Chains A and B, each alone.
Chain A
Amino acid sequence: MGMTITEKIIAAHSGLEEVHAGQFVYADVDICLGNDITAPIAIKQFERLGINGIFNPEAVVLVPDHFTPNKDIKSAQNTKTLREFARKHQIKNYFEIGRVGIEHALLPEKGIVVPGDLVIGADSHTCTYGALGIFSTGVGSTDLAACFATGKVWLKVPEAIKFVFNGKLNKWVSGKDLILYVIGKIGVDGARYKSMEFTGPVITALSMDDRLTICNMTVEAGAKNGIIEPDDCTEEYISSRARRKYKLYSSDDDCKYCDIYEYDVNNISPQVALPSSPENTRPVEDLSDIGIDQVVIGSCTNGRISDLRIAAQIIKDKKIHPSVRLIVIPATQDIYLEAVKEGLIEIFVNAEGVVSTPTCGPCLGGHMGVLAEGERALSTTNRNFAGRMGHPKAEIYLCSPAVAAASAITGKITHPEYID
């Protein structure tokens, strides 16, 4: 029996010719990642082991991105823990303020993760890198601590579901809309423990930014990983960035999928996930008169340059609605600088939006735009659970950057075609 791309990558990292769904392995990890929330627990756990060195400092990446620039004293202590651990163990891939960006935008951009890798991260959205043909999955802090010591992770090889996208994308429909649509169809546990493999002519034609967005939100369907077979688009993205040699894997024709879903994207319009679950999706045109207090454009899901470009294109020469607060967060310093050069930041500021330094910030109700009781936000982030962005009685709607930008202008959830 053939193997899926996920099975092939896991086999190659377990010293095995072949692995199949359900099998247990201790796999070698190419890159392990922690942030300012999850790494402090991992460091505490690792230090209790009382061993001297970490398995491979080159394989460890520490990204203080969630509550930075430090929002309070406790957060500052956590970042200090990461900084000192990085110094002690000569971890080069610790990213200080000024170089740091949101981890899942930063690692692909810097070529730290490359096709064919096996990556674990103590952050659920580590599944993002599947867009590059990487097996990457979110784990906990103790998994990270164990990986510091051993360079390995325990894994159960996941079953795979194939998602085939045919047809032609409608104007204003992006990778975010496709993944929201899928989550709406299969539910927040529709791919629990499984691998979500995306394919078809629509995926082939998608930009890397859109592919990263799709794989980013696979965890919202409960998946272990999301993955797209590498192609010309992947090579174009990674060849100039890769810091290591990479390997392109693809699924065998006779590999096993536990389910195959086919979608005709001609029927898909921009999607909005209503409170308080990412599966609670509706086409944007079905919503009317939903007034909003705050719009956030950013995050590991949608804070990349193409996201800022489409938002700026819609907002250009207009003003944000007087009752709306617009917060734009470029995901990395490189994206920020590119947005400055292209005049995007000027567009947001002229429209009376604010632009923040890279941070996860409001996505998880950390800082830089926390919601009050009864407020309603429209956000390009990934989760709309009650309390996620602040007060438990605030409401969160999820959407693409285009819908977010159009809605920021009208003050209510709006299809971008009404602004165009």
Chain B
Amino acid sequence: MNGKSWKYGDNVNTDGIIPARYLNTTDEKELASHCMEDIDPDFVKKAKKGDIIVAGENFGCGSSREHAPLSIKAFGISCVIAKSFARIFFRNAINIGLPIFESKEASMEINEGDEVQVDMNLGKIINLTAKKEYSFTPFADEMKDIIRAGGLMEYVRLNYCQS
């Protein structure tokens, strides 16, 4: 994961990530075309595939709509780094395989536009622009099993659907 960072504040909510007026579709491309629309109307014009969202506390608070992480993933954002995540957004991201990382220091110190790399194997967030490294909160083993499987449905397929 390697991309330019786009910075947002605390309590980015799911109505801002994908407004309810677009929830009449489950089409991922269509959802991606409205990604972050009510937080940052220019986001889809300026961000590129592979870029990284960096935010403050409680990212993804509000509704349970999986359309929110889906729109971010389908747009091609490689991962979200935040000080903390709202709980339903957190589990949705794990379940659908959108990489998310908790790091207070990275969230505070990364500036908009910085080139950022995340190395999952090393467990490091690397700010290539500022030449600084940060660790992120490790995932619980049970979550790692879901992440390794590629998401919850693949985990279910492996563990519950023996044929």
Within 8 A of A (CB), among B1-50: 11, 13, 15-16, 19-21, 23-26, 38
User: B59-67, B103-111, B130-138: which lies at the A interface?
Assistant: B59-67
- Residue A314, interface by CB 8 Å: no
**Residue in B closest to A189 when the chains form the complex, CB atoms:** B58
Query: A139-B88, A142-B153, A385-B15 in contact; A124/B63 too (CB < 8 A)?
Result: yes
Query: A24-B142, A48-B153, A365-B20 in contact; A277/B11 too (CB < 8 A)?
Result: yes
Query: A72-B24, A192-B58, A277-B11 in contact; A145/B65 too (CB < 8 A)?
Result: no
How many Å lie between the Cα of A146 and that of B26 in the bound state?
18
- Residue A224, interface by CB 8 Å: yes
Complex partner residue of A140 from B15, B66, B140, CB under 8 angstroms:
B66
Within 8 A of B (CB), among A119-144: 121-124, 126, 138-143
Q: Are B95 and A142 in contact (CB under 8 A)?
A: yes
Query: Nearest Cβ in chain A — how far from B76, in angstroms?
Result: 19
Q: Are A386 and B140 in contact (CB under 8 A)?
A: no
Query: Nearest Cβ in chain B — how far from A103, in angstroms?
Result: 12
With a cutoff of 8 Å between Cβ atoms, the chain A residues found around residue B100 in the complex are none
Q: Are B160 and A193 in contact (CB under 8 A)?
A: no
Count, chain B residues at interface, CB 8 A? 43
Q: Are B152 and A141 in contact (CB under 8 A)?
A: no
With a cutoff of 8 Å between Cβ atoms, the chain B residues found around residue A72 in the complex are 24
**Residue in A closest to B68 when the chains form the complex, CB atoms:** A140
How many Å lie between the Cα of A91 and that of B79 in the bound state?
37
- Residue A113, interface by CB 8 Å: no
Within 8 A of B (CB), among A379-402: 383, 385-388, 392
**Residue in B closest to A150 when the chains form the complex, CB atoms:** B160
Complex partner residue of A364 from B20, B84, B91, B151, CB under 8 angstroms:
B20
Query: Nearest Cβ in chain B — how far from A341, in angstroms?
Result: 33
- Residue B78, interface by CB 8 Å: no
Q: Are A365 and B140 in contact (CB under 8 A)?
A: no
- Residue A41, interface by CB 8 Å: yes
Query: A51-B161, A189-B86, A222-B87 in contact; A365/B153 too (CB < 8 A)?
Result: no
Q: What band does the interface of chain A fall in when counting residues whose beta carbon is under 8 Å from B?
A: 35 or more
Q: Are A366 and B13 in contact (CB under 8 A)?
A: no
- Residue A188, interface by CB 8 Å: yes
How many Å lie between the Cα of A1 and that of B84 in the bound state?
30
With a cutoff of 8 Å between Cβ atoms, the chain B residues found around residue A40 in the complex are 26
Within 8 A of B (CB), among A48-69: 48-49, 51, 66-67
Instruction: Report B123-161 CB contacts with A as 1/0, cut-off 8 Å.
Output: 000000000000000001110001000011101110011
Query: A140-B92, A140-B95 in contact; A189/B84 too (CB < 8 A)?
Result: yes
With a cutoff of 8 Å between Cβ atoms, the chain A residues found around residue B142 in the complex are 24, 154
Q: Are B66 and A366 in contact (CB under 8 A)?
A: no
With a cutoff of 8 Å between Cβ atoms, the chain B residues found around residue A385 in the complex are 13, 15-16, 62
How many Å lie between the Cα of A121 and that of B65 in the bound state?
11
- Residue A44, interface by CB 8 Å: yes
Within 8 A of B (CB), among A208-249: 219, 222, 224
Q: Are B160 and A149 in contact (CB under 8 A)?
A: yes
How many Å lie between the Cα of A254 and that of B67 in the bound state?
41
- Residue B114, interface by CB 8 Å: no
Q: Are B64 and A122 in contact (CB under 8 A)?
A: yes
Query: Nearest Cβ in chain B — how far from A87, in angstroms?
Result: 20
Complex partner residue of B86 from A49, A67, A149, A192, CB under 8 angstroms:
A192
Query: Nearest Cβ in chain A — how far from B18, in angstroms?
Result: 10
Query: A142-B151, A149-B156 in contact; A392/B64 too (CB < 8 A)?
Result: no
Q: Please name 26 pairs of A and B residues whose Cβ atoms are closer than 8 Å in the assembled complex, sorted by A.
A: A38-B66, A41-B70, A45-B153, A74-B25, A75-B24, A78-B24, A78-B26, A138-B88, A140-B65, A140-B69, A140-B88, A140-B92, A140-B96, A142-B95, A143-B91, A143-B92, A145-B153, A146-B155, A149-B161, A188-B58, A189-B11, A192-B84, A192-B87, A193-B87, A385-B15, A388-B15
A139-B88, A143-B92, A385-B15 are known contacts; what are 19 more A-B pairs with Cβ within 8 Å?
A24-B142, A37-B23, A37-B24, A37-B65, A74-B25, A140-B69, A140-B88, A146-B155, A149-B156, A150-B156, A188-B58, A189-B58, A192-B84, A192-B87, A364-B20, A365-B21, A386-B15, A387-B15, A392-B19
